[in-house]
Amino acid sequence: MPISTSKRLISMVLAGFMLLSPAVSSACTSFLLPSSDGGFVYGRTLEFGVDIGSKGIVVPRGHEMQGTGIDGKPNTGLSWTTKYAAVGASGLDLPIIVDGMNEKGLAGGMLYLPNLSEYQEVSPSESAESIASYEMLVFALTNFATVDEAREGFRSIKVNRSPQKLFKGVVPLHLTLHDASGKSIVIEYIGGELQISDNPTGVLTNAPQFSWHLSALGNYAGLSTEDPAPVKMGDAQFGPPSSGSGMVGLPGDFSSPSRFVRAFFMAKNAPTDKTAIEQVGTAFHFLNNFDIPPGLVSLGGDFGGGGSGYEITYYAAVSDLKNNIFYIRTHDNPSIQSIDMADFDLDAKEIKSFDFQSEWDVQKLGVN
C-alpha cells in the first residue's frame, strides 16, 4: 500500500474514534441556499452543553480592533481597522462574531472541530501579528468582501494557540465562509498548517475535517427525491410503501457525518423559485431538522456537560446575503428576531451589543 494512502486510512480511522469522545460535544450544522433573485441565504445551528453567552452585535466600519496574542490576554495580538461593517451573534462576552455577515454579503460561522484542530506555532516575536481561533470570523468579516480575498488574507496572518477561559484551553474551530456570488470555502488548521478548501456543497458540520465529509458523500450516491421503480418478479411487482422511499437510508442521527449528509441533500434539492426573503423561511425549515431538544444528547465529564449534562441547540441563525439581514431564533424564544443593517449607523464610533429577546412573541388570533 502506498505510504500516502496508508496515512489517509489511519487519519480516517482516528477521526472515527475521535467522534466517539463524550467529553466535549458540539453539533453545529450549516449550509447555503440560492434564491431566484440572484441572492444566497446561509443557515446554521449552534449547539453546546454550556451557554456561550451569545448576543446581537453590530461592528461598524473604521473601528480599531486588536486580537489576542499567544498569552491569551486580549489586545495583545494583531491590530486592524475594520474595513466593512458586520452584524451577527457574538459569544464569550467578547467583541467577536460567532455567526454573521458583513455589508458586502460575505457570511459565515465558526463551527466546533474537536480533537483535530491544531493551530500554528507562533513565537513571542510574532504574537502581535496573530489572532486567537475564536477571532477568525470577526477578522474575516471586517476585512474581506469575498471568499477569494479571505483566502489570501488568512495566508498573510497566523492563528495562534492562545487559551480561552470558558473552554479551559484552545478553542478548536473551523471556519465556513460564503460570499454574495455563491462561492464557499472552508478554513481549517490541521497539524499546525493552514488548509483552505473550496466548498462546492456549501455545507459544513463538525469533525472529521471537511475533506473526509466530501469523500463520505459517495456512500449515499443512490439517494433520490424520486421514489424507486417497483421490483418485478414474474407477474408480481413490489413497489415502495409510501412517498419518500427514494430517501430511505438518509441518516437521521445527531452525529456530524450524518448531519452533513442530511444538510447536503436538503441544500441540493432546495426549491430554486423563491426570492432571498422567501428562502429565509426555507432555511429555517431545514434547520428544524437539526434542532437538538433537551435530553437527547447526554454529555459527561468536564467541558460540554455544563450544569444540565446534555447538549442543546442554543440558536438557529440565517443570513440573507442579498438584503443584509441577519435572523436568529434562540432556544428560549422560538420567535424569529432580526438585525437589519439598514437600521444601524455603520459608521458609528462604537460596537453595539444587545441581548436577544427571551420573551415569546405569541400572536393572538381572532382578537380585535
Q: In this structure, what C-alpha cell is assigned to residue 330?
A: 434562540
Question: How far is Cα 176 from Cα 343, in angstroms, rounded to an integer?
Answer: 26
In Å, how far are 6, 46, 79, 80, 267 from 283, measured between CA atoms?
40, 14, 35, 33, 9
Enumerate residues 6+ apart whose C-beta is below 8 A from 328: 56, 89, 315, 316, 317, 318, 336, 337, 338, 339, 356
Among 184, 78, 180, smallest CA distance to 135 is for: 78
What is the structure's pLDDT at 19? 39
What is the structure's pLDDT at 57? 98
Question: How far is Cα 78 from Cα 66, in angstroms, rounded to an integer?
Answer: 5
Question: How far is Cα 89 from Cα 327, in angstroms, rounded to an integer?
Answer: 10
Enumerate residues 6+ apart whose C-beta is below 8 A from 281: 274
Q: Which helix (H) or strand (E) holds 14?
A: helix 3-18
pLDDT at 249 over 50: yes
Q: In this structure, what C-alpha cell is assigned to residue 313?
A: 441547540
Of all residues in the chain, the percent with pLDDT exceeding 90 is 73
Question: How far is Cα 292 from Cα 356, in angstroms, rounded to an integer?
Answer: 20
How does residue 41 score in pLDDT terms, banded at 50, 70 and 90? very high
What single string gives the DSSP state of each residue in 137-198? HHHHHHH-SSHHHHHHHHHTSEE----BTTTTB---EEEEEE-TTS-EEEEEEETTEEEEEE
| Tens digits of residue pLDDT in 267-294 | 999 999 999 999 999 999 999 999 998 8
337-340 and 56-59 strand pairing: unpaired
Task: Flag the least confident range among 6-20, 87-101, 130-144, 282-296.
Answer: 6-20
pLDDT at 26 over 70: no
Which DSSP letter does residue 229 get?
Answer: P
Higher-confidence position of 51 and 171: 171
Mean pLDDT over the full length of the chain: 89
Q: In this structure, what C-alpha cell is assigned to residue 179?
A: 460570499
| Tens digits of residue pLDDT in 178-218 | 999 999 999 999 999 999 999 999 999 999 999 999 999 99
Question: How far is Cα 293 from Cα 53, in angstroms, rounded to an integer?
Answer: 19
pLDDT at 307 over 80: no
